């Protein structure tokens, strides 16, 4: 049997997994790639990973044999039953002290359970929130690891080196025990739900109350993005507002106004209810998505219920002052929600 060469293994070769592996490789770590559909391993090695130090495995046994000890195995698979199924397959090949990391969007109660179950067998479990999307995974995500603290010295160098940097400091540190990492990621996603809803409502006010067209709204977003509201969401909102099709027409009004959701906003609300924390903004953001999904009902209601007849010029005498007030409401509301949510986290 050949000598173990890999510093860490990553299971799951969707775009997030591939990008995280390439990021680790760029930062000097040898990664073993594995996927349930093993043909994807060969495809990845022959294309995106060609010419790198990345190695592949066609079985979990082979993957584990290529890992330095203690073994570090990071899963990027669909949250829920798939995580439990993968852990069940990995465990027979582990030794006490090995580390299993769940980098998916798992519910924090599941991470609490998995940490407890693996600890009984002598293994370390880490639930790690990963933020930043595909681009972040490739060039620097925000990482939120929590679980068995004994695992952290073996992960710190890798995680902090591949993480995004803010003022020279890595956007990654140890969060806490058991499901803490996924709790923080859930909070992050909940705040994002609220932020996106506030942006949507701000756009509605800019359009219907202030009477701005899409290009003017984009200019407002550009201005906001140069100040206190500087963020990726504001930046892409400006781009969306001004985007036009091949006929020179704005694309936004052509898109069906029905939002989807993956459930993390709902989880945040459940946790807040459990701990008695009033995250009303996030709750309303979740319900707004539920309401937007009822497209047929909304269309029918619009035929039966007349719109209010409001002359915006009479209630908004100073358009510029009105726009400024919208931006300030966003800042204050998000900070208020953040305070309550992180207070909620401190109870776990």
> pLDDT tens digits, residue range 26-45?
999 999 999 999 999 999 99
pLDDT higher at 260 or 298: 298
Contact (Cβ atoms closer than 8 angstroms) between residue 130 and residue 159: no
Query: Any idea how long the chain is?
Result: 348
- In a shared domain, residues 25 and 167: yes
pLDDT-derived band at 264 (thresholds 50, 70, 90) equals: confident
Cβ neighbors of 156 (< 8 A, separation 6 or more) are: 174
Q: Please tell me whether residues 198 and 167 are part of one structural domain.
A: no
CA separation, residue 108 to residues 112, 113, 187, 212, 220 (Å) = 6, 9, 11, 42, 38
Q: How confident is the model at residue 338 (pLDDT cuts 50, 70, 90)?
A: low
Residues 30 and 156 occupy one common structural domain: yes
Mean pLDDT computed over 177-186: 92
Same domain, yes or no: 109 and 191: no
Domain co-membership, 143 together with 14: yes
Is 139 within the bounds of a domain?
yes
* Dihedral sign (CA 107, 110, 115, 116): positive
Which CATH number is 320's domain given?
1.10.1040.10
At residue 127, does pLDDT exceed 90?
Answer: yes
Per-residue pLDDT at 342: 66
- Asked, for residue 97, whether it belongs to a domain, the answer is yes
Average pLDDT over residues 71-86: 96
In this structure, the answer to whether residues 113 and 250 fall within a common structural domain is no
> Do 240 and 128 reside in the same domain of the chain?
no
What percentage of the chain carries pLDDT values higher than 70? Answer: 94
Domain assignment of residue 145, yes or no: yes
Backbone torsions φ then ψ of 19, nearest 5 degrees: -65, -40
Q: Is 1 part of any domain?
A: no
What is the tens place of the pLDDT at every residue in 219-255?
Answer: 999 999 998 888 889 999 999 999 999 999 999 999 9
- Inform me whether the pLDDT recorded for 133 exceeds 80: yes
CATH number of the domain that residue 64 is part of: 3.40.50.720
To the query of whether residue 192 is one of the catalytic residues in this protein, the response is: yes
**DSSP 8-class letter at 307:** P
Of 155, 178, 201, at which residue does a domain stop? 178
* Averaged pLDDT for residues 167-174: 96
Confidence of residue 344 (pLDDT cuts 50, 70, 90): low
Of the candidates 274, 104, 272, 261, the residue with the CA atom closest to the CA atom of residue 193: 261
Distances 313 to 76, 307, 310, 316, 328 between C-alpha atoms, Å:
52, 17, 9, 5, 21
- Of 137, 162, 178, which residue sits at a domain end? 178
For tokens 């219907």, name the residue: 208
Q: How far is CA 321 from the centre of its chain?
A: 34
Torsion sign over Cα 331, 334, 337, 341: negative
My answer on whether 29 and 129 are in the same domain is yes
| Residue 2 placed within a domain | no
Question: What are the residues whose beta carbons fall under 8 Å from the beta carbon of 137, sequence distance 6 or more?
Answer: 15, 16, 19, 20, 23, 130
Angle formed by the axes of helices 180-204 and 108-120, nearest 10°: 170
Whether the ω angle into residue 5 lies within 30 degrees of 0, i.e. cis, is: no
Q: Residue 310 sits in which domain range? A: 185-346
For residue 68 the two structure tokens come to: 């330095």
Q: Which of 98, 31, 93, 97 is nearest to 71 (CA)?
A: 98
Please state, rounded to an integer, the average pLDDT across all residues of the chain. 92
In a shared domain, residues 239 and 317:
yes
DSSP letters spanning 276-304: T---HHHHHHHHHHHHHH-HHHHHHHHHH
Q: Which of 157, 178, 199 is the last residue of a domain?
A: 178
Give the lowest-confidence range in 2-11, 14-23, 33-42: 2-11
- Note whether 274 and 342 are same-domain residues: yes
**pLDDT for position 332:** 65
Dig out the tokens for 317 from the structure: 């005498």
Catalytic residue (choose from 69, 192, 235, 336): 192
Our count of domains for the chain comes to 2
- Is 73 inside any structural domain? yes
pLDDT value at residue 260: 84
Q: How many CB atoms lie under 10 A from the CB of residue 293?
A: 15
| Whether pLDDT at 56 is above 80 | yes
Token readout for 271 is: 């946790």
pLDDT at 97 over 90: yes
- The residue ranking higher by pLDDT, 307 or 217, is 217
| pLDDT for res 327 | 86
So what's the pLDDT on residue 310? 76
- Per-residue pLDDT, averaged over 201-219, amounts to 93
pLDDT above 60 for 347: no
Residue 217: predicted pLDDT: 96
134 is catalytic: no
Active-site pick, 185, 219, 226, 314: 185
Q: Answer yes or no: do 143 and 197 share one domain.
A: no
Are residues 109 and 205 located together in one domain of the fold? no
Rounded distance between C-alpha atoms, residue 178 and residue 312, angstroms: 52
The more confident residue out of 108 and 307 is 108
């Amino acid at each position: 049997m050949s000598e173990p060469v890999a510093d860490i293994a990553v299971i799951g070769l969707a775009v997030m997994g591939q990008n995280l592996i390439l990021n680790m490789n760029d930062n000097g770590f040898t990664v073993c790639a594995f996927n349930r559909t093993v043909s994807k391993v060969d495809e990845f090695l022959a294309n995106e990973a060609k010419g790198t130090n990345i190695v592949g495995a066609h079985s979990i046994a082979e993957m584990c044999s290529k890992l330095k000890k203690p073994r570090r195995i990071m899963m990027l698979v669909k949250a829920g039953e798939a995580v439990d199924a993968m852990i069940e397959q990995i465990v027979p090949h582990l030794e006490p002290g090995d580390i299993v990391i769940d980098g998916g969007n798992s519910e924090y109660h599941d991470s609490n359970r998995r940490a407890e179950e693996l600890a009984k067998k002598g293994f370390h479990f880490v639930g790690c929130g990963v933020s930043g999307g595909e681009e972040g995974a490739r060039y620097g995500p925000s990482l939120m690891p929590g679980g068995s603290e004994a695992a952290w010295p073996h992960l710190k160098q890798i995680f902090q080196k591949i993480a995004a940097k803010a003022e020279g400091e890595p956007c990654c540190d140890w969060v806490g025990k058991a499901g803490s990492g996924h709790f923080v990621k859930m909070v992050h996603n909940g705040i994002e739900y609220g932020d996106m809803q506030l942006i949507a409502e701000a756009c509605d006010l800019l359009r219907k109350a202030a009477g701005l067209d899409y290009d003017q709204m984009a200019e407002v977003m550009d201005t906001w993005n140069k100040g206190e509201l500087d963020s990726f969401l504001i930046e892409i909102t400006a781009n969306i507002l001004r985007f036009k099709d091949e006929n020179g027409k704005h694309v936004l009004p052509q898109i069906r106004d029905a939002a989807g959701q993956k459930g993390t906003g709902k989880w945040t609300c459940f946790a807040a209810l459990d701990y008695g924390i009033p995250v009303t903004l996030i709750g309303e953001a979740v319900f707004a998505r539920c309401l937007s999904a009822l497209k047929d009902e909304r269309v029918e209601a619009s035929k039966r219920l007349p719109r209010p007849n409001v002359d915006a010029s009479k209630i908004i005498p100073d358009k510029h002052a009105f726009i400024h007030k919208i931006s300030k409401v966003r800042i204050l509301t998000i900070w208020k929600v953040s305070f309550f949510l992180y207070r909620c986290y401190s109870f776990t």
